[in-house]
Structure 1
Amino acid sequence: MITLPSRALLALVLTSALAGCASLSPQPRNADITELLAERGGPAVDWSAVAGTDEEAESLERWLSEPMTLDAATRVAMLRSPRLREHYARLGLARAEVLEAVEIENPRLSFQRMSIDGGGHNRTTGLSMPLLDLLLLPAKARLAATDYDRARYDVAGAVLDTVADVEAAWYAYVTARQVAGMREAVSEAAEASAELAGRFHAAGNISALQLAQEQAAASQAYIEALQARADAGRHRLALHTLLGLRGEETNWEASDSLPLPVPAEDDPEQLARLAGDGNLGVLAARAEAEVLADALGLTRKLRWFGGSEIGYEREREADGARLQGPEISLELPIFNQGQAKLARAEARLMEALARVQQAELAADNGVRMGAQTVAALRDVVDIHRQALVPQREAIVARQQERQNFMLIGVFELIQAKVAEYDAYQAYLEAVRDYWLARVELARLVGRRLPSDAGIEARTPSLEEILGPGEAPAMDHSAHGGMDHSTHEDAKPADAEEMDHSMHEGMDHSMHKAAKPAEAEEADHSMHEGMDHSGHDMPADPEPADVPEKSDDEAPSDQHDHHHGAIP
């Protein structure tokens, strides 16, 4: 027995128990995450709005009523994304683990009544608590706080990952929507060529083989247009899932252009330093190793006190005498000296240190590789913008001149126009790939890239690429080298309309083309409003009234050509 004042012991036990829980709130605070996000250029997350409020509904309606920009998509995700709700729940679980870690086991109350031969009873009342819990309480509170920091890093990193996924999905959808429009235009050009070939064949100016080639090219272009439209639909649905939208909320319009590459890329060495100091995955791994290192030290010091208890006991004898005082029970470490606990703690620390090294290595090498990828894709964008697209436009202009002087046929001019559209599509896809690479680079750095502040200029929209020639001259200073003065061609023969449901608001009345041979009529209802008067294909020359040649005999003015070539 250890002689201690009973009241002082009881006060010590109760004070220790209450001190472990009084300073901690049961719910996570907004500041626990918003500070980490703000430091890294992330969005402001109002966790109180996760459950849905009137203000949320008003904000959502306002953002969905305007063209969906990247910033608007991110804001919608912060309000409605199911993934963010999941992350908030994870933060609550981490908070619960902190509360559990700083709690000590409840005291045990014991009561004993023993009868004495000849009459009378001995009564014993006791109150005991685990000694180890009391000794570890300050250390457990410290470990819990560090582990909560690790959980904060994990959840904040998950929020930034959600933002990166939304950005990538937005880039992919906007590009897929533009590509679908380009494939529609290519399909129309191919259909115009096929329809014209049919008239030439009827007049005997081309062979059946040439007609079949034109019709096959038109059918292939039509298939690619349908595939591009379906691909855009899939990307839109994927974006809806990330944003948490459904039903009437999905009736929003997308922004019709992508930003151009930033004026200057970031220094890879600077990005590597930012990743080392601010990558949330690296910080979480370091915090975990710190917790386990501290836990290992405690295990080494206190492994001898596994089942020890401290308490107070009061006994009343049959003759009325009373015995009372504190008690302590110690576990004798004869058979189990805590070797397994120590080995487990050491192994967990080694594992955590290995994860830290892996996270640091992945961040450093990943950032350097990502920076190289971004630089390479930037070069690809510049080549498209400054070389390939202007060259294709110049070819169309020269072919138009040659066709005007009847040096080539209309088929060659249509082929050149198709190649120009293909070049524009490749250019838009190159811009998309550049931004997707930057999204992954920012994910590795763990924050928005410093050069994001220089985002200003944008690519031409689909309407500008395919727009009327009589409109005001387009300013190409933002994507230097592109001269659109060569966008004028004569229009193709009228044909039945195709489905332009992916391009609402575009008027193709001047750009109609024939449907593929034996194909059902398609609907242009989603391509309404786009005026292609400035992008017309060559006017159909009247086929010469000459006797029809055999299928195996090529006409003397025959020009070999190919269709649908992608630069």
Structure 2
Amino acid sequence: MKSATRGAVLGLAVAVSACAPFEARRGIDETRALTAARGVDLDMAAAADCTTPANALAQTSMALLDSDRALAVALACNATLAAEQARLGIANAEAFEARRLANPELSLGAARVDGGGTRIDFGIAQNFTQLILRGARTRLAEGEFLRAQQLLAGRVIELAAEVETARVQLVTARQRVQARALIAEASDAAAELAERYRAAGNLPAREVALARARAAEASAARRRADEEVAAARARLQRLLGVTHLDADLVGDASLVPVAIGETPDALRMRALQQRLDLVAARGLVDLLADSARTTQRLGWLGAFEVEVEGEREAGTTRLVGPTLTIQLPLFQQGQGARARADALVAWSRAERRRLEIAVASEVDEAIARLDAAASRVADYRERIRPARAAVVARMQEEVNWMLRGVFDLIDARIDELEAAADTFEALGDYALTRAALERATGVRLPRETQRVIEASTLLGDGADLVAPPVVNPSSTPGGDAQPHHEHGEQP
């Protein structure tokens, strides 16, 4: 009685699973829950219009493409992410098929009988090997479907770090353009001033040529900075998946370094628990180990088919069956399948170990680089730039009192602008390293407490320092207006 009850329950479960409808969106909500737990709680639905970032978010305009908006655009338009979502759909379909039984096979045949009449043969066959292996096959497919969710969610976190990296690179490139433009302007002013002093007979030709060379070098550096902006804009555009991207949309403000709030040990432990590629690798070990156990037990099993045949002749029906077909394990007993299963388990364990070591080392490297970048930013913001600004201010006073020459003032201003460019570089490196730490830990760090610093704050105005008035270039009252040359040198 109990055996019959268990058989009825099993048959009912098989019938129910066979009738279950296919859920096309299965796994989407689970994937979003994984990303939300790691700091990215955004919809991944494809945008209807990916021509511009504003259109991708269904907005009429966009004033600033910050980190959150850039990620939202990428989630809606990035083609690589769309392909990863399609893989989730493939895994869902494969899991659905694994739960279903193979359709039975129907055979029909007709033949003439000596003496007249027709004989009709018919039969229906079912492959029972799939039924026996259905549980193991379902577990494997469902496990792969879960891994597909984890890998897709991990790709979202990774994409967030990549988009932020590209956005920061574009911001830093635009900041460098501003600094290089002011340096080029100051160098041009110095070259023009040198020409005027040369015309008055107070500057040798060598100094004029040197001023021209410096101006040309500054102009070339500005063009290189323009090229970097174009390259950074293209990288961000590709990651966002939009057709058009205005570089000015990212602005020119940099993040001010703040403390992460977690110890290196806590970050390392968090990464080992939260990195979804590592979670997926651990799941793969369990899946392959379960598959290997099934192979060890049933690796010898081949085709196992049950068929019911019937024959109809001269208006009568005569059953001949059932027929049982079993593949005999004479030449192969599943040795190769068992060896392959064991090798896959060994490979998955080695891959898991490799990822664990890589994750820990990536976190350690990112923490060390972040600390160094924050210290470098502090050096430029608190020591180097203030010192350079003080030199310019004192130099301006000395020029006003005719104690120093105008060329010295322009050189000091250029040094200040170079310090500003280096500060931009340091701020950009800090932001890039922060994105690398997010990628290493598999978690997007909070941004509520992040402050920004505008490029204009570091560059200053400096308009009165670029081309100061020269009343009489034929004289050098109150100081030497001829830099880096001897007074007695002849042109």
TM, length-normalised to structure 1: 0.77
Distance 1:199 1:61, change over 3 A: farther
Partner SS, residue 44 of structure 1: coil
Give the Å deviation of 1:252.
5.8
1:130 has 2:127 as partner: yes
1:193 and 2:117 equivalent? no
Mapped pair 1:172 → 2:169: yes
- Gaps of at least 5 residues in structure 2 are 486-491
Q: Deviations over 1:243-293 (max 9, x none)?
A: 22224x648633220110114453111111111111011011112222111
Paired residue secondary structure (1:129): strand
User: In the TM superposition, what are the counterparts of 1:254-273 in structure 2 within 5 Å?
Assistant: 254-273=250-269
| Equivalent position of 1:391 in the other structure | 387
Selected match of 2:401 from 405, 415, 418: 405
Cα distance in 2, alignment partners of residues 557 and 410 from structure 1: 6
Residues 534-549 of structure 1: pairs in structure 2 closer than 5 A = 536-544=466-474
Amino acid corresponding to residue 211 of structure 2 in structure 1: E
CA distance in 1, matches of 2:439, 2:336: 39
Partners of 1:250 and 1:17 in 2: CA distance = 57
CA contact (8 A) 1:124 1:315 kept: yes
> What is the number of equivalent residue pairs in this alignment?
477
User: Counterparts of 2:70 and 2:293 in 1: how far apart (Å)?
Assistant: 48
> In the alignment, is residue 456 of structure 1 matched against residue 386 of structure 2?
no
Q: 2:37 aligns with which of 31, 36, 39?
A: 39
- Contact 1:21–1:99 under 8 Å retained in 2: no
Structure 1 unpaired stretches of 5+: 469-486, 488-531, 547-554, 562-567
2:120 and 2:10 mapped to 1: Cα distance? 26
- Equivalent AA in structure 1 for residue 484 of structure 2: D
- Alignment correspondent of 2:310: 314
Match of 2:345 among 349, 358, 372: 349
Match of 1:560 in 2: 484
Alignment partners' CA distance in 2, 1:261 and 1:86: 35
Task: Tell me, in whole angstroms, the C-alpha distance in 2 between the residues paired with 1:386 and 1:21.
Answer: 70
Counterparts of 1:400 and 1:467, CA distance in 2: 15
What displacement does 1:79 show? Answer: 2.3
1 CA distance for matches of 2:471 and 2:385?
28
Cα distance in 1 for residues equivalent to 2:419 and 2:361: 34
State the match for 1:303 in structure 2: 299
Q: CA RMSD in A?
A: 3.1
Q: Distance in 1 between matches of 2:54 and 2:70?
A: 15
- 1:112-127 equivalent positions in 2, closer than 5 A: 112=109, 123-127=120-124
SS of equivalent residue, structure 1 residue 109: strand
- Cα distance, 1:305 vs structure 2: 2.0
* Residues 74, 163 of structure 1: 8 Å contact kept: yes
8 Å contact kept, 2:408–2:481: no
The CA distance in 1 between the partners of 2:280 and 2:264, in whole Å, is: 23
Asked if 1 retains the 8 angstrom alpha-carbon contact of 2:54 and 2:62, the reply is no
For the residues of structure 1 that align with 2:210 and 2:326, how far apart are their CA atoms?
A: 94
Q: Shift of residue 152 of structure 1?
A: 0.7
User: Which residue does the alignment assign to 1:215?
Assistant: 212
Per-residue CA distance 1:166-204 (angstroms, 9 max, x = gap): 111110111111110000000011111110001111111
User: What is the CA deviation profile of residues 12-62 of structure 1, one whole-angstrom value per residue up to 9, with x for unaligned ones?
Assistant: 889736625616423444303210110000141242x44559xx9767353
The alpha-carbon deviation at position 161 of structure 1 amounts to: 1.8
What residue number does 1:90 align with? 87
CA distance in 2, matches of 1:438, 1:368: 12
Once the two structures are TM-superposed, the CA of residue 537 in structure 1 deviates from its matched residue by 4.5
State the 1:116 CA deviation.
6.3
**Whole-Å Cα distance in 1 between the matches of residues 399 and 447 of structure 2?**
48
The answer to whether the 8 Å contact 1:64/1:252 transfers is: no
Instruction: Give the structure 2 partner of residue 490 of structure 1.
Output: none
Q: In 2, distance between residues paired with 1:367 and 1:63? A: 40
Distance 2:438 2:373 in 1: 15
CA contact (8 A) 1:240 1:250 kept: no
Q: Which residue of 2 aligns with 1:482?
A: none
Within the alignment, does 1:335 sit opposite 2:334 as a pair?
A: no
Counterpart AA for 1:255: G
Matches of 1:63 and 1:383, distance apart in 2:
42
Residue 160 of structure 1 is matched in structure 2 by 157
Per-residue displacement from partner, 1:426-461 (whole Å, max 9, x unpaired)? 011101011111111111111113xx34533212x2
Please tell me whether the aligned partners of residues 63 and 76 of structure 1 are also in contact (alpha carbons under 8 angstroms): no
| 1:66 lines up with 2:63 in the alignment | yes
Measure how far apart 1:133 and its partner are: 0.4
- Give, in whole Å, the separation in 1 of the partners of 2:163 and 2:418: 28
CA change 1:448–1:231 in 2 (3 A) is same
Distance in 1, Cα, partners of 2:294 & 2:475: 101
Q: Secondary structure at the match of 1:62?
A: coil
- Could you tell me how far apart the structure 2 residues matched to 1:225 and 1:298 are? 66
Cα shift at 1:354: 1.1
Answer whether contact 2:388 2:419 (CA < 8 A) is retained: yes
For 2:344, the aligned partner's letter is R
Distance 1:347 1:263, change over 3 A: closer
Q: Secondary structure at the match of 1:305?
A: coil
CA gap of 1:264–1:11, structure 2 versus 1, over 3 A, is closer
User: What SS does the aligned partner of 1:258 have?
Assistant: strand
Q: Distance in 1 between matches of 2:386 and 2:255?
A: 20
Q: 1:322 to 1:203 in 2, by over 3 A?
A: same
Amino acid at match of 1:97: E
- Contact 1:413/1:538 (CA < 8 Å) preserved in 2? no
CA displacement at 1:117 relative to structure 2: 6.0
Determine the structure 2 residue equivalent to 1:374: 370
- Give the 3 Å change call, closer, same or farther, for CA 545–404 of structure 1 in structure 2: closer
Contact 2:417/2:459 (CA < 8 Å) preserved in 1? no
Distance 1:269 1:15, change over 3 A: closer
The more displaced of 14-23 and 324-333 is 14-23
Please give the per-residue CA displacement for 1:132-188, whole angstroms capped at 9, x wherever unaligned: 101111222222111111011111111222221111111011111111000000001
Alignment of 1:226-305 (within 5 A): 226-247=223-244, 250=246, 253-305=249-301
Q: Give the deviation of 1:122 after TM superposition.
A: 6.0
